[in-house]
Amino acid sequence: MHIAGAEPESPPHTGGLLLLVDGTAGLLTVAVLGIALLLFLIIKVRLQPFVALLAVSIATGLAAGLSVTELFGTVQQSDTVSVIEDGMGGILGHVAIIIGLGTMLGAILEVSGGAEALSSRLLGLFGERRAPLAMGLTGLLFGIPVFFDVGIFVLAPIVYAAAKRSGKSVLLYCMPLLAGLSMTHAFLPPHPGPVAAAGLLDVDLGWVILMGTICGIPAVLAAWAYSAWIGKRVFVEVPQDMVEALEESQRVIAEEQRASGVKPVEAPVSVGTVLAIIGTPLLLILAATFSSIALDPSTLRSVIEFVGHPFVALTLALFLSFYLLGIRRGWSRQSLETVCTSSLKPVGNILLVVGAGGVFGAVLAGSGIADALAETFDGMGLPVIVLAYLVSLVLRVAQGSATVAIVTTAGIVLPLITSGDFSQAHTALVIVAISAGSIFASHVNDGGFWIVAKYFGISERDTLKSWTVLESVLSVAGFAVAVALSLFV
């Protein structure tokens, strides 16, 4: 296997299965063809991204000179870790636990009525005139622990109600909400994109949370400004068919929950409780990250680093939600188990795609392609943060999946990070740039485009004018702040 920084080894003979390449030009050709094949399989063939990433990783490795033994290992030497196993296991060992715990935490908050309590309080505080801002803050806060599409499903009825009361365009209320949900989903753990990039680039999540927040807040403010502008110029009525469909879905879910022993929400959840549960893991992780800077080695520092490890912090927050939102409000232990188990069902596809992205990155490193890319990119003179954004943006626009864009880009820029001796803070800003590029110009090849259009009754043309531009504003603004900060860290 090729080691970063060493001279490329001659690949072992494998019976003519390899298309052997020599030098930087040959390895770059393999890289370009591999990415082109990945886009072709996802866009034209409509192959599932996990399968496409895995297939392209194998083809790229063989073409670049890795032997079958290096890629897959051998039956005789079961203790030998192959490139594929190393890539898959290395990233999932970090990502799977965080995403799993975060998903269950979000499900408890969702089912308990936390989102409704949060939005109701904010709407009451800001009043009818500032209802769009209240919706934006709801999306921003509730979007931290829940997936983007789940947030839309849970909060859409509140958007419908606000639009009906005011008689104004749905866009005026849904766009700020979507901006908040999208920013947290793109920039902040425990969402899959930033967690996967942090795992691939070996960055503490505390730095990702800090830089994601610093870059994300100005980005979401810019997006809210655009939301106010477009909401006054494009009128979209409340989609009655979706109102009825959501009411029916919620009725079915309520019946399933009752059958499983989940107690229906009777009294509103305390907003303070919701914010405490959301904020607990973030604050613990941040405290652990900065204790290593501010404190000398001591028992106190060890304790802070222990409770602030992402695995421990999210587990504590999950237990807190079990008690405060579940057991204390009459839920049985079976109810909690049912909600948590159900929430994990959609996670499998995400984890497989992230794992396959880890395989692709391992193949790039093990074959020497990563070093060739690093050498070429260094010669271009572009800062790593700019290059990361552009690569992620192109991959996103071409194939639609933000997750694929993030894990592929992280694998490509990894050798630049390791050879550049960047600080954790600077690398976290590179992750923000990658995440920002992965949300640029959501259009018809992105599932999120159709979810937004369907749930809020927006025509394709108006979705391009509103949602697509909104995502681009978020992307460019977040990237601009990340670049500005990168000059000082």
* 9 found inside a domain: no
Mark which of 285, 319, 343 sits at the end of a domain: 343
Do 357 and 447 lie in a common domain?
yes
Cut 0.75: pTM above it: yes
What is the CB neighbour count within 10 angstroms for residue 316?
16
Q: Are 320 and 264 in contact (CB under 8 A)?
A: no
Do 372 and 444 lie in a common domain?
yes
Q: How confident is the model at residue 334 (pLDDT cuts 50, 70, 90)?
A: confident
Residue listed under structure tokens 């999120």: 448
Q: Are 21 and 11 in contact (CB under 8 A)?
A: no
Query: pLDDT tens, 89-100?
Result: 888 887 899 999
Q: How confident is the model at residue 206 (pLDDT cuts 50, 70, 90)?
A: very high
Query: pLDDT tens, 125-152?
Result: 888 889 999 999 999 999 999 889 888 8
Tell me the average pLDDT across 19-45. Answer: 82
* 13 found inside a domain: no
Domain count within the chain: 2
Mark which of 281, 311, 343 sits at the end of a domain: 343
Query: pLDDT tens, 44-58?
Result: 898 988 999 999 999
Q: What is the pLDDT, as a whole number, of residue 263?
A: 55
Tell me the average pLDDT across 283-299. Answer: 90
The tally of CA atoms less than 13 A away on the side-chain side of residue 408 is 33
Residue 462 has pLDDT above 80, yes or no: yes
Q: Which of 178, 199, 126 is nearest to 434 (CA)?
A: 199
Q: How confident is the model at residue 376 (pLDDT cuts 50, 70, 90)?
A: confident
* 218 found inside a domain: yes
Query: pLDDT tens, 218-267?
Result: 999 999 999 999 999 999 998 887 667 656 655 665 666 666 555 555 55
The domain of 255 spans: 91-343
Do 67 and 117 lie in a common domain?
no
Q: Are 102 and 314 in contact (CB under 8 A)?
A: yes
Do 335 and 396 lie in a common domain?
no
